[in-house]
């Protein structure tokens, strides 16, 4: 019997009415004859409410306790969703991450899944149950509860799909799929009917909020097709998969953007071995996540080192880097928080150098100055003035004819 895994995010189960709506969608999938496993997030703002409680108790809550606390949010939504299905006459059972056999390491708040012991899930499916699994959580060898960090429920869903050999993992959310650009910025943005894992990974990492890159990566590794679609409409969504069709090749598929960008430039750095390590190791130790790093060509053994961080981390990053920059004899250390990031992504570009030129030309025509450039095989990213991001996305969407995409 075909098996599908579905995942519903917090906005899809935000209240009793929405939970009933999701139950109807699950029932429809079951009626088609599939075995159905459902992964569910905490209701709406529930996780934030629990975190808020914790921080009213303690400035730095213990991480093991924090995970045990917030994991209750998904248990609540899983049990409620199961009640809704049973009230409709369907056989269903809720399982916590622990009961579903999701074994993780003990890195609280961002645990990694080590393996899935799927005996209980398989047993419940064989009894004819729809199995509702609390997302975002697992259990250590010591039977302590962990949470999986950002994108956790998506990761639970894809990992379960991989371990159970599901046909597809369906991620239901509040958007209708993956678009050629953010539809709020670009009215002509088109839903993509399919996209490759690598492109989706770049989009997820470079600003598209649809799915967390971690779950996409896991999907790519295990070869499980992932459908991203809306839980509120019947739009067919976007299928993320590995067997790229001809149409997916040879073009830019999407423009991504991110407004949460700050930049630090260490000016006049003596160009000698060990300098980069001297800067980035203390930043990692201070839990500052560094994104793009660019080092200019060295002139007379003096270079400029620039990197970006999330805006909320700029102050902390400067506190770490300023004393280091003095001690290594750099001339200055400058922060700038008014930046944004715009990227074009597509498998097509790896064999065709003209894409970069067209991107830079388009930005230039808009009078937009490029502060930093970074590239991968299937992505080109420019860091620009925050105020220009909207114009840049629109111009690039038009320049690469994405409004004609289907």
Torsion sign, CA atoms 293, 294, 298, 302: negative
Give least dist CB 324 to its own copies, A.
32
Given 34, 65, 336, 385, the residue binding its own copies (CB under 8 A): 65
C-beta of 33: minimal distance to its own copies in Å?
24
- How many amino acids of this chain bind its own copies (CB under 8 A)? 38
Q: Draw the binding track, 92-121, toward its own copies (x: CB under 8 A; -: no contact).
A: -xx-x-xx--------------------x-
Between 78 and 255, CB nearer to its own copies: 78
Q: How far is the CB of 246 from its own copies (least distance, A)?
A: 47
What span, in angstroms and rounded, lies between the C-alpha atoms of 331 and 367? Answer: 30
Q: What is the rounded CA–CA span in Å between residue 226 and residue 6? A: 10
Angle at 18 between CA 14 and CA 20, to 5 degrees: 130
Q: Binding to its own copies by residue 322, rule CB under 8 A?
A: no
CB 118 within 8 A of CB 99: no
- 175 SS3 class: coil
Question: Which one of the spans 13-21, 217-225, 323-331, 370-378 is the region binding its own copies (CB under 8 A)?
Answer: 13-21
Do the Cβ atoms of 186 and 400 come closer than 8 Å?
no
Nearer to its own copies, 80 or 317 (CB): 80
Stretch that binds its own copies, among 70-78, 229-237, 241-249, 278-286 (CB under 8 A): 70-78
**x/- track of binding to its own copies for residues 209-228 (CB under 8 A):** --------------------
Contacts (CB under 8 A) with its own copies, residues 143-202 = 143-145
Which of 3, 29, 51, 83 binds its own copies (CB under 8 A)? It is 83
Residue among 276, 274, 269, 280 nearest 333 (CA): 269
59 interacts with its own copies by CB under 8 A: yes
Measured in whole angstroms, the distance separating CA 31 from the mean position of its chain's CA atoms is: 31
Instruction: Give the closest residue to 24 by CA, choosing from 41, 43, 6, 46.
Output: 6
* Choice from 26, 80, 178, 211 touching its own copies (CB under 8 A): 80
Interacting residue with its own copies among 12, 47, 82, 362 (CB under 8 A): 82
The two three-digit tokens of residue 91, written as one number: 């056989």
Orientation angle between helical segments 213-222 and 197-205, nearest 10 degrees: 170
Ranges within 17-46 binding its own copies (CB under 8 A): 19-20
> What character string, x for contact with its own copies (CB under 8 A) and - otherwise, covers 116-145?
----x----------------------xxx
- Burial string for 322-344 (b: 16+ CB within 10 Å, else e) reads bebbeeeebeebeebbebbbbbb
For the record, the structure tokens of 5 come out as: 């895994």
Residue 51 binds to its own copies (criterion: CB under 8 A): no
Instruction: Write the burial class of residue 57 (CB in 10 Å: 0-12 exposed, 13-18 middle, 19+ buried).
Output: exposed
CB of 75 to its own copies, least distance (A): 5
* Binding residues for its own copies (CB under 8 A): 16, 19-20, 50, 53-54, 56-62, 64-66, 68-69, 72, 75-76, 78-80, 82-84, 86-87, 93-94, 96, 98-99, 120, 143-145
């Amino acid at each position: 019997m075909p098996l599908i895994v579905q995942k519903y995010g917090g906005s899809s189960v935000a209240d009793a009415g929405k939970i009933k709506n999701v139950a109807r969608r699950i029932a429809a999938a079951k009626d088609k004859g599939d075995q159905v496993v459902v992964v569910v997030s905490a209701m709406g703002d529930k996780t934030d409410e629990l975190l808020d409680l914790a921080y009213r108790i303690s400035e730095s809550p213990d991480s093991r306790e924090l995970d045990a606390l917030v994991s209750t949010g998904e248990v609540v939504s899983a049990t409620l969703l199961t009640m809704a299905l049973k009230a409709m006459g369907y056989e269903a059972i809720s399982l916590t991450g622990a009961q579903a056999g999701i074994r993780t390491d003990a890195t609280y708040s961002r645990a990694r899944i080590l393996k899935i012991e799927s005996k209980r899930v398989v047993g419940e499916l064989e009894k004819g149950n729809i199995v509702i699994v609390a997302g975002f959580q697992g259990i250590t060898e010591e039977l302590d509860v962990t949470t999986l960090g950002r994108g956790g429920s998506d990761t639970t869903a894809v990992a379960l799909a991989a371990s159970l050999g599901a046909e597809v993992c369906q991620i239901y959310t509040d958007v209708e799929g993956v678009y050629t650009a953010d539809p709020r910025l670009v009215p002509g943005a088109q839903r993509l009917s399919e996209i490759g894992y690598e492109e989706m990974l770049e989009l997820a990492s470079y600003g598209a909020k649809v799915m967390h890159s971690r779950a996409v990566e896991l999907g790519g590794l295990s070869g499980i097709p992932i459908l991203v679609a809306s839980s509120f409409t019947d739009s067919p969504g976007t299928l993320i998969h590995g067997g790229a069709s001809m149409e997916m090749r040879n073009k830019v598929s999407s423009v991504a953007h991110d407004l949460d960008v700050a930049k630090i430039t260490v000016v006049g750095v003596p160009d000698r071995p060990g300098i980069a390590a001297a800067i980035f190791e203390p930043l990692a130790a201070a839990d500052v996540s560094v994104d793009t790093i660019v080092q200019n060509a060295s002139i007379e053994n003096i270079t400029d080192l620039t990197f970006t961080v999330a805006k909320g981390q700029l102050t902390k990053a400067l506190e770490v880097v300023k004393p280091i920059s003095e001690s290594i004899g750099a001339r200055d250390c400058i922060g700038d928080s008014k930046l944004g990031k715009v990227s074009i992504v597509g498998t097509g570009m790896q064999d065709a150098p003209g894409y970069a030129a067209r991107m830079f030309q388009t930005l230039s025509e808009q009078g937009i100055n490029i502060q930093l450039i970074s590239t991968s095989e299937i992505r080109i990213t420019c860091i620009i003035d925050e105020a220009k991001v909207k114009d840049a996305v629109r111009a690039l969407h038009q320049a690469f004819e994405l409004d004609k995409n289907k």
